[in-house]
């Protein structure tokens, strides 16, 4: 029996189910409300749904792609000028990560680069609500915000319990218009969270509760959510699975999949796409170190064939990636062999993630994995 801490990093309230945005009860008395979202979502009706609940809210919709420190600092400055007492993030991980930092820094003077790292935030004085419209990052449940540093292009984390929102709404109706490729890539990100956290050296009896159930929901529903975007049941399962994945990585962390994906993100490869490419090959690499632990995943992975050995799990993830409308190789995203050494060197800098991996990795091993992704 291991010894570990069961932390209480959990939103105070979680509202789950279709149409639940209209049933938000918290903070409705607030008069100075800021909604943070991305430009793409401004064109949908999702913002109007939130506006019906908070009719006096201002909207900041300048988040584009994966957030940079410059982008986040601009959002923070906008928030400071408005002196808001409630920040609501609605959108994918980029909008949610930005909203978390805006709420945390709104009453202070720091830039986001000053708080990169762990536990560098002062106690948050602004209320925070999060409404995900993708089933992927699990940002609404995690203590992390991932931001690309504008000075060097490297993704860095703000890690603090101040990132945990006061409330979360998981309304699958808001995900119905998500295109199939984005549903697939964000869904793979969420599945990676669950699998990585289950195999992490920091996993424990408490964290795997979230990992396993999230894995079961995502594995069973990802293909249907991609193929039938209006399937509300599948969409809801994906949203809940993503949330559980966020809870899992807050407690156990991610591993080499995320470590190797960050250098790809620096080259503008979407995060979920990079994770999906890497997952089967990282599992294959980790096999010698965690076969028994991998076999514990079998009851939670949806498979048409019996999973009799850990190698079957690797094959299952490879087959899943093949069926989804996402890039499968580095060549498809414009990365060639000449980049591999540099990618490997950058991945080795992600020590906080590699230390969680069940099998140690050196730069040669990392480069070998990237090489397998070439074609």
Dig out the tokens for 323 from the structure: 């069926």
The model's pTM: 0.96
Q: Could you please report the per-residue DSSP string of 20-84?
A: GGGG--TTTT-SSEEEEEEHHHHTSSHHHHHHHHSTT-EEEEEE-SSPBHHHHHHHHHHHHHHT-
pLDDT value of position 9: 83
pLDDT value of position 44: 86
How far apart are alpha carbons 223 and 353 in whole angstroms? 28
pLDDT, one tens digit per residue, over 140-160 is: 999 999 999 999 988 899 999
pLDDT, one tens digit per residue, over 116-145 is: 999 999 999 999 999 999 999 999 999 999
- Name the residue among 153, 137, 136, 133 with its Cα closest to residue 145: 137
Q: Per-domain residue ranges for the chain? A: 13-174, 178-372
Which superfamily does CATH assign the domain made up of 178-372 to?
Dehydroquinate synthase-like - alpha domain (1.20.1090.10)
pLDDT value of position 92: 96
Q: Which residues in the chain land under pLDDT 50?
A: 1
Task: Tell the CATH topology of 13-174.
Answer: Rossmann fold (3.40.50)
Q: Do domains 13-174 and 178-372 have the same CATH topology?
A: no
pLDDT value of position 1: 45
Asked if residues 78 and 55 have their Cβ atoms less than 8 Å apart, the reply is: no
């Amino acid at each position: 029996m291991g010894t570990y801490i069961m932390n209480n990093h959990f939103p105070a309230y979680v509202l789950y189910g279709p149409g639940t945005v209209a049933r938000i009860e918290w903070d409705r008395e607030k008069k100075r409300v800021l909604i943070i979202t991305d430009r793409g979502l401004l064109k949908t009706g999702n913002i109007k749904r939130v506006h019906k609940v908070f009719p006096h809210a201002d909207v900041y919709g300048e988040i584009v792609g994966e957030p940079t420190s410059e982008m986040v600092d601009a959002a923070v400055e906008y928030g400071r000028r408005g002196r808001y007492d409630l920040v609501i993030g609605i959108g994918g991980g980029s909008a949610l990560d930005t909203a978390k930092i805006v709420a945390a820094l709104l009453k202070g003077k720091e830039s986001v680069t000053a708080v990169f790292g762990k536990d560098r935030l002062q106690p948050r004085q602004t209320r925070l609500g999060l409404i995900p419209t993708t089933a992927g990052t699990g940002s609404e449940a995690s203590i992390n915000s991932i931001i690309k540093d504008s000075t060097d292009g490297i993704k860095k984390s703000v890690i603090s319990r101040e990132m945990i929102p006061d409330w979360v709404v998981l309304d699958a109706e808001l995900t119905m218009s998500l295109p199939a490729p984005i549903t697939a890539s964000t869904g793979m990100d969420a599945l990676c969270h669950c699998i990585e956290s289950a195999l992490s050296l920091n996993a424990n009896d408490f964290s795997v509760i979230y990992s396993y159930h999230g894995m079961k929901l995502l594995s069973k529903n990802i293909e249907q959510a991609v193929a039938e975007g209006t399937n509300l049941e599948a969409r809801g399962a994906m949203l809940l699975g993503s949330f559980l994945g966020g809870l899992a990585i807050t407690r156990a962390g991610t591993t080499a999949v995320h470590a190797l994906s960050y250098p790809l993100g620096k080259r503008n490869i979407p995060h979920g796409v990079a994770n999906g490419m890497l997952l089967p090959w990282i599992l294959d690499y980790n096999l010698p170190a965690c076969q028994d632990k991998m076999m514990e995943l079998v009851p939670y992975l949806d498979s048409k064939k019996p999973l009799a050995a850990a190698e079957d799990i690797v094959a299952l993830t490879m087959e899943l990636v093949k069926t989804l409308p996402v890039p499968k190789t580095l060549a498809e995203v414009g990365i060639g062999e000449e980049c591999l050494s540099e990618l490997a060197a950058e991945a080795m800098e992600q020590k906080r993630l590699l230390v969680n991996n069940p099998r140690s990795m050196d730069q040669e091993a990392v480069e070998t994995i990237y090489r397998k992704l070439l074609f």
